[in-house]
């Protein structure tokens, strides 16, 4: 046995238009009973929301709570975007950061932030994602090559005054984001 619940919207001419139908198996009748008890409030809430949407030119109002949830989801799916926002800043055209330093900073940042799915990021994929995100944010970056090392110009790592310091420290002592 199935229970059908129909929700209708009535326009100014008293025409009924179905806007929502729920088909539930028999065990969910308890839920249906609860919904039926609140049906008037649900309909009023829906009509109020529809009126607000119509008054706003059928444009949804941004929600801070929804934006926060979406931001958390994006960070979980692509932590590179959050890494770029937190660690990389615009520099002068003379500023350069080596690809390997971006990789080390990213891995250290991921360890600190608790991102454990680093195996999906090869160095090439990380650099490409970083370049794409920087370009979307309006950064002017160029690929550079010096002494066999590749890097990006026009950016700096936020926590270090000079990219050369990171390259030297990374080779000699190891890089740990907790030291920042």
Q: What is the number of residues in the chain?
A: 180
**For 12-33, what is each residue's pLDDT tens digit?**
555 555 555 555 555 556 677 7
Structure confidence at residue 152 (pLDDT): 94
For residues 63 and 67, what is the distance between their CA atoms, to the nearest angstrom?
6
- Which domains, from first to last, does the chain contain? 2-55 (no CATH), 79-179 (1.10.10)
CA neighbor of 146 nearest in space, from 95, 88, 87, 89: 95
pLDDT tens, 129-180?
Answer: 999 999 988 998 999 998 889 999 999 998 644 444 344 444 444 445 544 4
- pLDDT tens per residue, range 98-133: 999 999 999 888 888 887 766 678 899 999 999 999
């Amino acid at each position: 046995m199935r229970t059908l619940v129909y929700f209708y919207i009535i326009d100014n001419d008293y025409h009924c238009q179905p806007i929502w139908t729920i088909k539930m198996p028999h065990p969910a009748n308890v839920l249906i009973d609860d919904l039926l008890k609140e049906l008037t409030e649900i309909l009023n809430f829906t009509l109020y929301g529809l009126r607000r949407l119509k008054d706003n030119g059928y444009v949804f109002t941004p929600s801070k709570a929804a934006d926060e949830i979406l931001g958390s989801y994006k960070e979980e799916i692509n932590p590179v975007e959050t890494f770029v926002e937190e660690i990389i800043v615009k520099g002068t055209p003379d500023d350069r950061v080596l690809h390997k330093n971006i990789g080390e900073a990213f891995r250290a940042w991921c360890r600190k932030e608790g991102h454990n799915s680093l195996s999906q990021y090869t160095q090439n994929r990380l650099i490409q994602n970083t370049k794409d995100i920087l370009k979307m944010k309006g950064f002017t970056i160029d690929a550079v090559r010096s002494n066999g090392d590749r890097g990006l110009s026009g950016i700096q790592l936020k926590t270090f005054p000079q990219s050369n310091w990171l390259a030297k420290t990374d080779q000699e002592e190891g890089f740990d984001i907790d030291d920042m």
